[in-house]
Amino acid sequence: MDDPATREVVVIGGGIAGLSAAIYLGRAQRDTLVIDSGHSMARWEPTVENYLGFAQGVSGKDLLSEGRKQAERYEVRFAEDEIETIAIEDSVFVLRGKKGNYRAKRLLLATGIFHLPPQIPGVKECLGHSMFFCKDCDGVRVREKRVAICGANNEAVEYALGMLLYTACVVIVTNGEKPHWSEQHARWLQEYEIPVHEERIHDVDHCDRKILSLRFEQGREVKMEYIFTTRGDIFHTELAESLGAKLDEAGQIEVDHCMRTSVPNLYAAGCVTPANCQMIIAAGQGATAAQAINRDLFEESLTTHSLRRFREVQLEEEQTVPEGT
C-alpha cells in the first residue's frame, strides 16, 4: 500500500544498522519510516557473544525484535517491503517497492550484504552453528577444535594462519579449486605446516547442526568439527548505484565519517559500507548516520524558516495553555 506522506527520513533495511539509526531518529522526533524485507544476517546467529552488554550472549533474532520494539517506542513506523527502484524528483527520494511507493527527504541505505556459503551439500544446515564466516565473531568458539578453512586465495591462507591462535588443528580445503595464493603465502603454509586438501568435497556429514566430517569425492573422509569460509560477499548496493553513489574497489558504498554518500541527502550504514562487518560496528554506524541526518534536517529547517513556522504554531498554542498546567 502506498505511503501518502513525504517522510523526513526513510531507512531501507531493518537490520542492526537500520534499527540503531531508527532508535536515534525516533528519539530525535523525526518522522521516520523503516522499510525492511526481513533478511537480516543477524537472524543466522543463535548466540551473539561479542555485543556489548550481554555477558551470556544474546540471539541475533532477539536483538532484532528488541531493537524494533525500542524504535517503535519512539513512534518509528515500519513497512515490510522490498524496495526495487529509487528516483529523485524535486529533491525528494521516490521509492518503489514490491508492495507500495514511498517518499523521503533523507534516505539511509542500511541494506547489508549476503555472505555466500560454500557450495557443499550439508553446509547450509550448519550455518551459524558449526559453519562460520567470521574469525572475529566465532574464532574463540573453536578453541582446540578441528577446523577447516574453505578457500583457495591469499585470504584463505591468512585466515588459516590467524586461526592458529585458537587451535593447532587447522587445514585448508579448496573444494576442487586450484590454489591461487601468492608465493609468499605458499611459503607461509609450508613454514607453519598447514595441510591443504585440493580435492572436491562430496558432502559434509553432520548431526544436530554439528559438523562431524568432510567426505571427499574420491571416498576419503576427514574428521572435522568446524568450517570457516573466506567470505564471498554480495553487497546490496544496486539502489545506491542507481542513484549514482560512488562505490569502492571492493563494491562497498563509499561514505564519509558521518556516513554521507557521494549523493546529497543519501546516507549509508552497516555492512554495505567499508565497515568491518560486525553487529556493534553496524549499530554504531547507524547511530552516526542518524545524528548526521538529524543535524542536516535541523540546519535545513533554519535556512527554509520551517522551524520559525513551527515555533509560531507553538507560541500560539502556548497562549491557550492555562498557567499552572
Q: Applying CB under 6 A, which part among 37-45, 259-267, 290-298, 302-310 lies near ligand FAD?
A: 37-45
- Which residue from 206, 255, 233, 318 is spatially nearest to 17, judged by alpha carbons? 255
Q: Using the rule CB under 6 A, is 38 a contact of ligand FAD?
A: yes
Q: Applying CB under 6 A, which part among 34-42, 252-260, 302-310, 314-322 lies near ligand FAD?
A: 34-42
Q: Which is nearer to ligand FAD, 132 or 181 (CB)?
A: 132
How far is residue 42's CA from residue 110's CA, in Å, rounded to a whole number?
Answer: 13
Q: Using the rule CB under 6 A, is 50 a contact of ligand FAD?
A: yes
Least Å from the CB of residue 311 to ligand FAD: 36
Q: Which is nearer to ligand FAD, 29 or 85 (CB)?
A: 85
The answer for residues whose C-beta is within 8 angstroms of residue 229's C-beta and 6 or more apart is 115, 116, 117, 118, 131, 132, 133, 149, 150, 151
Q: Using the rule CB under 6 A, is 266 a contact of ligand FAD?
A: no
Q: Using the rule CB under 6 A, is 32 a contact of ligand FAD?
A: no
Output phi, psi for 202, to 5 deg. Answer: -75, -50
Q: Using the rule CB under 6 A, is 11 a contact of ligand FAD?
A: no
For the stretch 248-257, what's the b/e string if a residue is b when 16 or more beta carbons lie within 10 angstroms of its beta carbon? Answer: eeeebbebee
Least Å from the CB of residue 98 to ligand FAD: 9
Least Å from the CB of residue 281 to ligand FAD: 7
Applying CB under 6 A, which of residues 11, 25, 41, 152 lies at the interface with ligand FAD? 41
Least Å from the CB of residue 261 to ligand FAD: 15
Residue 47 · residue 57 · CB < 8 Å: yes
Q: Using the rule CB under 6 A, is 48 a contact of ligand FAD?
A: yes
Least Å from the CB of residue 82 to ligand FAD: 4
Cross-strand bridge partners of residue 207 = 210
Cell representation of residue 88:
529523485
Which residue minimizes CB distance to ligand FAD? 15
Site string for ligand FAD, 61-100 (x = CB under 6 A): ---------------------xx-----------------
Footprint of ligand FAD on 122-181 (CB under 6 A): 127-128, 133-134, 137
Q: Applying CB under 6 A, which part among 167-175, 200-208, 254-262, 279-287 lies near ligand FAD?
A: 279-287
How far is residue 269's CA from residue 324's CA, in Å, rounded to a whole number?
Answer: 45
Cell representation of residue 60:
541475533
The residues that touch ligand FAD, with contacts defined as CB under 6 A, are: 12-18, 35-42, 44-45, 48, 50, 82-83, 110-112, 115, 127-128, 133-134, 137, 236, 270-272, 277-280, 282
